[in-house]
Structure 1
Amino acid sequence: MRHGTFDEDDGRPTLRFEVDVAADAERLWAAVSDPAELAAWFPQALSYRPRVGGRIDFADDPLLPPTSGEVLAWDPPRRFAFTWGDDEELWFEVTDGGPSGARLGLTDRLALRDEAARNAAGWEICLDALAAHLDGDGHDGLHAEGARDRWRAHFAAYTATGMPAGAPVPGDDE
C-alpha cells in the first residue's frame, strides 16, 4: 500500500499520494499526460485540450458514466490538473529525484469526505497499474479478475485507519 493520506485543504477533503517510480521525469510526465499512456492505468479513457481552460472528456469505464471537466493547470513537464466530473479535482506533479528516478505527487481534492477511503483504495489499484506500465510489465487492467478483491483489501486498510468512508461504490448493489 502506498499510504495515501487524508487531510482538509482549505476546508476541502483531500487525498495525497507521493510515489517514487523507476523512470525519469520525462517518462513519468508522458505516463500522466498522454491519453494513450493514461489508458494503461487511469480509470477512464480521456481526451483533452492541453491548455488551462481546455475541455477534458472521460469515457469507457464500465462502472462510471462518461463525464467531462476542465483543465485547471497545464505546465509541461511538471504539472497537470483537471476537474473530474462535477466537483473532484486531480493534480499530478512530476519531480526529479525519487530514490530510483522520479516522483509523482497525486492530489485528489474530493467532493465529499465520505469518498476518501473509496478513492484511496482505487488509487492504490491505479498506481499499481502505473508502476507496471512504467516497468514495461503487463497489467491485467483495472477491472480484471481479482482487482475488486485487491480494492476491497485496500479499502478495509484505509477504513481501519479511520479514513472517512460511506460513499457509494460503483458496481456494488446500492
Structure 2
Amino acid sequence: MTALATMLADHGELTGPDTLRIARLLPGPIERVWAYLTESALRRQWLAAGEMVLEPGTGFELVWRNDELNETPGQRPEGFPAEHRMRGQVTAVDAPRRLDITWGTASAVRFTLAAQGDQVLLTILHQRLPDRASLLNVSAGWHRHLDMLEARATGRPAPDFWSGWQRLKADYATRLPE
C-alpha cells in the first residue's frame, strides 16, 4: 500500500484542536469532482442541495435531506430533522482546484482538489469547530458524506446513511482526544 493509500484508508484527523482534515481519492477528471462540489443537482446526491455562485462574497444556502441520499437511509437519530438548512458564504475560488466557504456563522471549510493520474484527491479542511459535540458530528458527517460521494462517483450503490453515520460518530469519539 502506498503512503497516499495508507493516508486515505484512515479516518479524518485533527490538525489542530478545532480543525478536521479528511481526504478521499475519487475517479477523475478533476472537473467532474469539481462539479460534484459546486453544482446543486450533483451535490445533493451526496451532501446538500443549494445553488452557489462561485464568486467570493456571495451567499448561499445548503439544504440537507440525508434521508434521501439512498434507498435505505436507516433510522434518523432523535433530534435530527428530516431537513436541515445552513447559510454560508463563498470566500475563495480557484476553479477547479479550491473552494473556500463559511460554514454557518462559526466555522469555515476548504475543499482542495489535486489530480493524481486519472484520479482526484479531494481534501476537506473544516476549521473553527466550536466544541467536541460539533467535532464529532462533523467528523462522522464528512466521513459518511464522502462515502456517499465515492459511491456516486464510482457507480456503486450508496450505503445506508444514518446507521453508518452513527457507527462513525461512535468511532470518532474513541479516536479523537477529549
* TM-score interval, normalised by the smaller of the two chains: 0.7 to 0.9
**Aligned ranges 1:7-156 → 2 under 5 Å:** 7-8=15-16, 13-42=18-47, 44-61=48-65, 62-63=81-82, 65-97=84-116, 101-114=119-132, 115-139=134-158, 146-156=160-170
Q: Check conservation: 1:116, 1:163, Cα contact below 8 A.
A: no
* Superposition deviation, residue 36 in structure 1: 1.3
Structure 2 unaligned regions, length at least 5:
1-8, 66-80
Structure 1 unaligned regions, length at least 5:
141-145, 165-174
* Superposition deviation, residue 110 in structure 1: 3.5
- Secondary structure at the aligned position of 2:140 is classed as helix
- Secondary structure at the aligned position of 2:50 is classed as strand
CA RMSD of aligned residues (A): 2.0
Q: Check conservation: 2:46, 2:145, Cα contact below 8 A.
A: yes
Count matched residues: 154
Between Structure 1 and Structure 2, which shows a larger proportion of helix residues?
2
TM-score relative to the length of structure 1: 0.79
Identify the residue that residue 4 of structure 1 maps to in structure 2. 12
- Secondary structure at the aligned position of 1:121 is classed as helix
Judged with a 3 Å threshold, the aligned counterparts in structure 2 of structure 1 residues 130 and 60 are, in CA distance, closer, same or farther, namely closer
Same amino acid, percent of matched pairs: 25
* Superposition deviation, residue 19 in structure 1: 1.0
1:102 partner letter: V
TM-score relative to the length of structure 2: 0.77
* Superposition deviation, residue 82 in structure 1: 0.8
Q: Check conservation: 1:125, 1:151, Cα contact below 8 A.
A: yes
Q: Check conservation: 2:12, 2:139, Cα contact below 8 A.
A: yes
Does residue 166 of structure 2 align to residue 162 of structure 1?
no
Q: Check conservation: 2:14, 2:176, Cα contact below 8 A.
A: no
Identify the residue that residue 143 of structure 1 maps to in structure 2. none
* Superposition deviation, residue 67 in structure 1: 2.8
Judged with a 3 Å threshold, the aligned counterparts in structure 2 of structure 1 residues 109 and 117 are, in CA distance, closer, same or farther, namely same
